[in-house]
């Protein structure tokens, strides 16, 4: 029995059309992927951000500009010393005491136990530029939270710690003055990493407990910040380990795509291009609002667990 040449020809044409469609779809997917890696999503830019707390993003940004004007914050540099003196002065002006050795301040609470909020203050050895988002933005969020949260709060005490050098957070706590230990053990840690980016894409670490990630996500939803708080968490031990205290729930709130894409992150992070123009007061406001409300929910959760 002989094959029908017409049927064979039609089959070949169908295969060619199918391959053409598949190639077109593949090229479209590659194009979208390249666009996402090279061009930021404008929906991730924080604009017209309404305040949801006493946190003042514009004042935090003014503090950022002041910090950057004092010089590079490389370890043991003159600039780092000037920045520390400035933060010390501002914390005391806000009505809180500052421990000059630990470089920390505490807002006392009515419950036993401490929520520790921390960020790096200095830049890496040899890091060029101003370090606006690495990590001056994180540091000014801490400073503005000191101003905006209640001084004698109904809940856990909140310890703010600006980290310098390569020493891990656990070593800081081990060497903390006895006065801080009187507030109780650390119940939870929140660390900030690069949260001033205009194209804000916040993530939590996968190693953070589910209840803590859940509180952050629910709070972001409640204050209309959900599109800037990504559903998927990240895993990066090099980023999270320095902030980990054995047995303590730890969430490292990070934006790991500075400028909105993989390409811009490589261009901006810890380079001479990491300037104040890449940081937005609206993003500082958004992060401040998130933390302001999240710690209150954490109070309720941790208080309910306490005996």
Question: In total, how many domains does the chain have?
Answer: 1
- The mean per-residue pLDDT over the stretch 198-211 comes to 97
3-state secondary structure of 182: coil
Residue 285, pLDDT score: 97
Residue 304, pLDDT score: 81
Residue 173, pLDDT score: 79
Domain-located, residue 129: yes
Q: Which of 90, 172, 83 is nearest to 135 (CA)?
A: 83
Residue 184, pLDDT score: 84
Domain-located, residue 274: yes
pLDDT digits (tens, 9 = 90+) for 12-31: 777 777 777 777 667 665 44
User: Mean pLDDT for the chain?
Assistant: 90
Please check whether residue 193 is in contact with residue 169, taking contact to mean a CB–CB distance below 8 angstroms: no
Domain-located, residue 16: no
- The mean per-residue pLDDT over the stretch 105-111 comes to 94
Angle at 121 (CA atoms; ends 98, 71), nearest 5 degrees: 105
Is the CA virtual torsion 64, 66, 71, 73 positive or negative? Answer: negative
CATH code of 194's domain: 3.40.630.10
Highest mean pLDDT among 35-39, 150-154, 257-261: 257-261
Burial (CB count <10 Å: 0-12, 13-18, 19+), residue 99: middle
Percent of the chain with pLDDT strictly greater than 90:
71
Segments of 121-226 assigned E as strands: 153-163, 186-193, 202-203
Domain-located, residue 3: no
- Structural domain boundaries, residue 169: 52-305
Domain-located, residue 41: no
pLDDT digits (tens, 9 = 90+) for 118-165: 999 999 999 999 999 999 999 999 999 999 999 889 999 999 999 998
Please check whether residue 271 is in contact with residue 259, taking contact to mean a CB–CB distance below 8 angstroms: no
Is the CA virtual torsion 76, 77, 83, 88 positive or negative? Answer: positive
Residue 19, pLDDT score: 75
Residue 264, pLDDT score: 96
Domain-located, residue 11: no
Our separate counts of H helices and E strands in the chain read: 10, 6
Residue 8, pLDDT score: 55
300-to-136, 145, 156, 275 alpha-carbon distances in Å: 31, 19, 9, 38
Helices (H), 39-158: 57-69, 78-93, 137-148
pLDDT digits (tens, 9 = 90+) for 268-304: 999 999 999 999 999 999 999 999 999 999 999 998 8
pLDDT exceeds 60 at position 95: yes
Q: Which of 105, 73, 71 is nearest to 88 (CA)?
A: 105
pLDDT exceeds 90 at position 236: yes
Confidence band for 50, pLDDT divided at 50, 70 and 90: confident
Domain-located, residue 221: yes
Report the alpha-carbon distance of residue 140 to residue 67 in Å, rounded.
Answer: 9
Confidence band for 306, pLDDT divided at 50, 70 and 90: low
Domain-located, residue 28: no
Is the CA virtual torsion 241, 247, 248, 253 positive or negative? Answer: positive
């Amino acid at each position: 029995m002989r094959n029908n040449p017409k049927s064979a020809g039609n089959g070949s044409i169908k295969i060619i059309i199918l391959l053409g469609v598949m190639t077109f779809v593949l090229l479209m997917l590659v194009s979208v992927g390249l666009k996402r890696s090279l061009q930021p999503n404008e929906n991730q830019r924080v604009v017209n951000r309404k305040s949801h707390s006493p946190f003042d993003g514009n004042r935090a940004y003014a503090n950022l500009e002041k910090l950057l004007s004092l010089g590079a914050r490389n370890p043991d540099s003159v600039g780092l010393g000037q920045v520390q003196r400035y933060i010390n002065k501002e914390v005391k002006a806000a009505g809180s005491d500052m421990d000059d050795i630990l470089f920390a301040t505490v807002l006392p609470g009515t419950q036993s136990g401490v929520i520790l909020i921390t960020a790096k203050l200095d830049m890496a050895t040899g890091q060029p530029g101003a370090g606006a988002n690495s990590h001056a933005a994180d540091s000014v969020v801490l400073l503005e939270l000191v101003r905006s949260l209640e001084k004698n709060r109904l809940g856990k005490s909140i310890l703010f710690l600006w980290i310098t050098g390569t020493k891990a957070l656990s070593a800081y706590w081990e060497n903390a003055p006895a006065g801080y230990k009187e507030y109780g053990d650390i119940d939870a840690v929140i660390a900030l990493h690069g949260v001033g980016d205009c194209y804000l894409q916040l993530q939590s670490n996968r190693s953070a407990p589910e209840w803590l990630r859940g509180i952050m996500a629910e709070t972001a939803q409640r204050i209309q910040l959900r599109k800037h708080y990504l559903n998927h968490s990240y895993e990066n031990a090099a980023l999270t380990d320095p902030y980990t205290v054995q047995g303590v729930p730890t969430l490292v709130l990070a934006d790991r795509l500075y400028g909105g894409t993989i390409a811009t992150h490589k261009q901006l992070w810890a380079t001479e291009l990491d300037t104040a123009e890449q940081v937005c007061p609206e993003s500082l406001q958004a992060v401040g609002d998130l933390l302001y409300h999240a710690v209150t929910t954490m109070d309720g959760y941790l208080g309910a667990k306490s005996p």
